[in-house]
């Protein structure tokens, strides 16, 4: 059974930072498709496979069973192909809608407070990074030399009412170090006999 560590959190919560650290710890990083423009410091395959919207949408419509999820943020599409799960344990940054699609037909498993969703072939362990809004906004403003302030504030307002199912996620502090959160993730994996 393949396992997906689904890192969730509002914009600027540290999802990609945690995913990058986990990748350095030899956990396979899921390569999702994205139609958004590359940011400073990004490249093809890092952190996304950048594709055009028409190609992605058409492939998804023709091959839905080959995708774990597909969703939109504004005009940009994101999707995860089943072939991106290359190892037994895989990690990726997702939003709430993507995780809801992945776990829709899975059964909830809870062991000693750790939460996972399982089907015959895939296990999804949702991990939510909780970070105060002020910290998230400061992080987003620091990402680029000339950040789109209007877009950052719109995203913050849009996400205000998202992540309403926090009791269905494993919650970590996005203000903890990645090393501290890695130790907490290892404990969650251990409860599902994955370490």
If pLDDT is split at 50, 70 and 90, which confidence band does 20 have? very high
Angle, helices 178-191 vs 15-24, to 10°: value is 70
* Dihedral of the alpha carbons of 44, 137, 142, 37, in degrees to the nearest 10: 20
Q: 167: buried, middle or exposed (CB in 10 Å: 19+, 13-18, 0-12)?
A: exposed
pLDDT at residue 141 tops 70: yes
Coil, helix or strand at residue 68: strand
Which domains are present in the chain?
A: 1-29+88-195 (3.40.50.300), 31-84 (3.30.63.10)
Surface-to-core class of residue 60, CB atoms within 10 Å of its CB (0-12 exposed, 13-18 middle, 19+ buried)? middle
Counting every residue, how long is the chain?
195
Q: What whole-number distance in Å separates Cα of residue 127 and Cα of residue 125?
A: 6
pLDDT of residue 164: 67
pLDDT at res. 181: 94
Name the least confident of 38-42, 67-71, 117-121, 166-170. 166-170
The chain-wide mean pLDDT, for the chain, equals: 90
Inter-residue contact 125 to 115 (CB < 8 Å) = yes
Structure confidence by residue, pLDDT tens digits, 46-77 = 889 999 999 999 999 999 889 999 999 889 99
Asked if 79 and 32 touch (Cβ cutoff 8 Å), the reply is yes
Residue 132 pLDDT class (50, 70, 90 cuts) = confident
pTM of the full structure: 0.86
CA 157 to chain centre: 20
């Amino acid at each position: 059974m393949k396992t997906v560590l689904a890192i969730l959190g509002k914009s600027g919560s540290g999802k990609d930072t945690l995913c990058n650290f986990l990748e350095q710890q030899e956990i396979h990083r899921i390569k999702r498709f994205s139609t958004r423009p590359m940011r400073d410091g990004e490249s093809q395959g890092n952190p996304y496979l950048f594709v055009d919207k028409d190609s992605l949408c058409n492939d998804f419509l023709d091959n839905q069973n080959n995708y774990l999820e597909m969703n939109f943020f504004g005009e940009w599409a994101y999707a995860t192909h089943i072939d991106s799960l290359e190892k037994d344990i895989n990690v990726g940054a997702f939003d709430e809608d993507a995780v809801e699609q992945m776990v829709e037909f899975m059964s909830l498993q809870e062991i000693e407070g750790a939460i996972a969703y399982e089907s015959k072939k895939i296990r999804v362990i949702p991990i939510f990074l909780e970070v105060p809004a002020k910290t998230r906004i400061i992080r987003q403003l620091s990402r680029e030399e000339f950040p789109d302030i209007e877009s950052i504030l719109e995203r913050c307002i849009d996400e205000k009412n998202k992540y309403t199912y926090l009791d269905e996620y494993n919650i970590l502090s996005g203000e903890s170090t990645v090393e501290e959160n890695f130790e907490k993730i290892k404990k969650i994996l251990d409860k599902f006999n994955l370490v």
